[in-house]
Structure 1
Amino acid sequence: MEAYANALLYAIPFFLVLLGAEILYGSLVKKQTHNVMDSVSGISSGLSNIIKDSLGLGIVLVTYPFFLKYLALVDMKITWVVWIVAFVALDFASYWNHRLSHHINYFWNTHMIHHSSEEFNLACALRQPISNLLGFYAIFLIPAALLGIPNNVIAILAPVHLFAQFWYHTKHIGKLGWLEYVIVTPSQHRVHHAINPEYIDKNLSAIFCVWDRMFGTFQEELEDAPPQFGVLKPVNTWNPIIINFQHLWRLIKDAWRTKNYYDKLRIWFMPTGWRPADVKIKYPVEIITDVYNFNKYKTPTSISFQWYVISQMLACLGLILFMFFNYGQIGADGLLLYGAFVFFGIYGYTTLMDGHPSGIWIEVFRGLAGIALILYTGDWFGVDSYISWGSLLVGTYFLSTILGGIYFGLKEKKLIEAI
């Protein structure tokens, strides 16, 4: 996990530079694809995901080394050919894992966060799950295990394969000629994120689009059907923690409410969106029927509040970067506590973004807890060994969180009530 944290220490700034470049380009050409609240929500989702992954939270049901040990037909030496074969095997596994996520109710919960934005930009790429608590991805790597591809090759290529999917989440790049027949492009991925009937569950490949063409899930972007983005059951929140478990909560409620015991069991494994007949009638859920005419989720906000949530997001990012930098020294127990502060931070300011009154109390509690921890330990997880006034800076941040939570919580509430 420490190696993964070190990789993210360099990858995160790179992603943010590209994201900043997209925002700047959109402003220059007067075709902005970002809005503050949506992008903050998307980036915050990415922050929660990397905290979860870097802390190793979850249960791994089966590992790749296990399959490699018992299924390998040959013992492959590491050559350049092995690296290529391994990358293709990863891409093949990604296609089928992705397809499963789009077609089975339970697994859609772990992927819905990625589709939850009603915009399409690089911030969407950062909408990654924290609800994938059961690790079973290795099952899709059985072909790689049969070929005897070494575990360290897979471990190195896996984050590379994931990071390589970042760039094509943009509306600023059109079709790319002959590359459309080789790799996944922005045009193809716009189709994938669209909720137009002709685009649903299409273009599931990660890097090479050959899998979609081979298995019948390819769809070209059509000029007379501009992609509309989001999910058919709109999330109606900026809070990425809530979005991560929203679909799962609906499944739990439907399984509890239905009178049919068979439906209580099969709801988890039915096609995405399926609901028991009795529950569907008695407890209807909002579904978008006209994709070209629906109201995107938005909350009335002042410019000052937008800058406040941006500053809160950047503060959480700074805390994460320090955690990665000092990962080994903080220790296992400290990392869990540290991660909890960041998680609550993300939950707090995105709850304020929704205009929910509980956001004030969450921010006040977190701020007081952070200040209390600094006073009790005399430091903030060793930051003073690098910067003598580091814990004072972090304490000031927590104080500003308390004051900002109260001020903006009450101010934005009045703004909402005035509409």
Structure 2
Amino acid sequence: MPEFPNLIHFAIPFFVFSMLLELYVTTREKYKETKGYETKDAFASIAMGLGNVFLGFASKVLVLLALSWVYENFRLFTIPVAWWSFVLLFFADDLAYYWFHRISHECRLFWASHVVHHSSEHYNLSTALRQTWSGGFYSFIFWLWLPLLGFHPAMILLQMSISLLYQFWIHTEAINKLPRWFEAVFNTPSHHRVHHGSNPIYLDRNHAGILIIWDKLFGTFQPELEDEKVKYGLVNNINTYNPVKIAFIEWWNMLKDTFTGKKSLKDRFQYLIKPPGWKHDGTGKLSDDLRQEWLNSNKQK
């Protein structure tokens, strides 16, 4: 098995330096309208990141075993470790990430772990560290088609790390818009601010990892609007800095909805697979409903 360095561990000093630099920059008068850093919120995000790293030792073993099992037993081709295969893997991994990320917003079972990343009402580089403690144990299923094609598991894990590192720097309000050609192709702070917005028009948009082209191709792209300032967080915020609650509160809510009350077996199952906001009695509102209400309201203005 080829050996590649663990890029995330090497990047930790860069993370710390970047957050300190951002903290300095955003205290300037030019950025007085941003929410910036809030001590409890930032430490909660860092705690979630540290928990993700520690639990990552266990989840990475599971992921490696799963990828290796598919690669060793079912691969259709054998793709060599070469520069051109990394180019192909770059696009394949980014497509896998798009669908993982999109489904994580459209299926409550995956949202239960992904909601952690959206739980902060602030948007800065520390928010990028607010990572799941549970998702790593099952989200890898979106990447199983890569070893099936013949990409080596070590290559896949390396590219997944590269994608995660890229997404760190886009969690900031200190960068407004980049050159038009870059905004057209790549995920940027502007695009990702939209993704973290709880404004109805911004809900479940811009699921990109590195390339924003997937959102444009599959109809989930939404530009940041000058007259609609992003409001960060959730439609219903959890209002806690407790890392354990942040990590598991949606799991609790989902399982409570699934197993309590008088419901049919079908309805219980649908609480796991339907989007967040769905209710069996029809009283729930999905992000599409909220977006349509916003669009109708703004047409009348």
Give your verdict on TM over 0.5: yes
Q: How does 1:224-373 map to 2 (within 5 A)?
A: 224-262=227-265, 263-277=267-281
The one-character-per-residue Cα deviations of 1:342-400 (angstroms, maximum 9, x if unpaired) are xxxxxxxxxxxxxxxxxxxxxxxxxxxxxxxxxxxxxxxxxxxxxxxxxxxxxxxxxxx
**C-alpha deviation, 1:58, in angstroms:** 8.7
**C-alpha deviation, 1:98, in angstroms:** 0.5
1:36 paired residue number: 39
Q: Would the alpha carbon gap of residues 6 and 74 (structure 1) be closer, same or farther in structure 2, given more than 3 Å must change?
A: closer
Preserved contact between residue 202 and residue 217 of structure 1 (Cα < 8 Å): yes
**C-alpha deviation, 1:278, in angstroms:** 9.2
TM-score, normalising length: structure 1: 0.62
2:84 paired residue number: 81
Partner SS for 1:98? helix
**C-alpha deviation, 1:59, in angstroms:** 5.7
2:298 paired residue number: none
2:197 paired residue number: 194
The whole-number CA distance in structure 1 between the counterparts of 2:143 and 2:274 is 20
Q: Does 1:67 align with 2:59?
A: no
**C-alpha deviation, 1:276, in angstroms:** 3.2
Preserved contact between residue 5 and residue 54 of structure 1 (Cα < 8 Å): no
- Consecutive unaligned residues of structure 2, counting only runs of 5 or more, are 285-289, 295-301
Preserved contact between residue 64 and residue 153 of structure 2 (Cα < 8 Å): no
**C-alpha deviation, 1:211, in angstroms:** 0.5
The whole-number CA distance in structure 2 between the counterparts of 1:173 and 1:207 is 17
The whole-number CA distance in structure 2 between the counterparts of 1:273 and 1:173 is 32
**C-alpha deviation, 1:12, in angstroms:** 1.2
Stretch of structure 1 that moved more, 212-221 or 237-246 = 237-246
The one-character-per-residue Cα deviations of 1:120-159 (angstroms, maximum 9, x if unpaired) are 11111000000226334144341x3343222221122221
2:105 paired residue number: 102
Q: Would the alpha carbon gap of residues 107 and 200 (structure 1) be closer, same or farther in structure 2, given more than 3 Å must change?
A: same
1:19 paired residue number: 19
**C-alpha deviation, 1:5, in angstroms:** 9.6
1:167 paired residue number: 169
Partner SS for 1:63? helix
Q: Would the alpha carbon gap of residues 53 and 4 (structure 1) be closer, same or farther in structure 2, given more than 3 Å must change?
A: farther
The whole-number CA distance in structure 1 between the counterparts of 2:60 and 2:155 is 23
**C-alpha deviation, 1:23, in angstroms:** 0.1
The whole-number CA distance in structure 1 between the counterparts of 2:163 and 2:110 is 21
* Backbone CA RMSD of aligned residues: 2.7
2:133 paired residue number: 130
**C-alpha deviation, 1:252, in angstroms:** 1.7
The whole-number CA distance in structure 2 between the counterparts of 1:153 and 1:57 is 14
TM-score, normalising length: structure 2: 0.85
The one-character-per-residue Cα deviations of 1:245-302 (angstroms, maximum 9, x if unpaired) are 111111222223220122222211112221333997xxxxxx9xxx9xxxxxxxxxxx
Q: Would the alpha carbon gap of residues 76 and 20 (structure 1) be closer, same or farther in structure 2, given more than 3 Å must change?
A: same
Partner SS for 2:252? helix
Letter in 1 for 2:228: A
Letter in 2 for 1:268: L
Q: Would the alpha carbon gap of residues 124 and 106 (structure 1) be closer, same or farther in structure 2, given more than 3 Å must change?
A: same
**C-alpha deviation, 1:45, in angstroms:** 1.1
Preserved contact between residue 99 and residue 142 of structure 2 (Cα < 8 Å): no
Preserved contact between residue 62 and residue 139 of structure 1 (Cα < 8 Å): no
Q: Would the alpha carbon gap of residues 215 and 279 (structure 1) be closer, same or farther in structure 2, given more than 3 Å must change?
A: closer
Preserved contact between residue 58 and residue 135 of structure 1 (Cα < 8 Å): no
The whole-number CA distance in structure 2 between the counterparts of 1:86 and 1:24 is 37
Structure of higher RCO (CA pairs closer than 8 Å, 6+ residues apart): 2
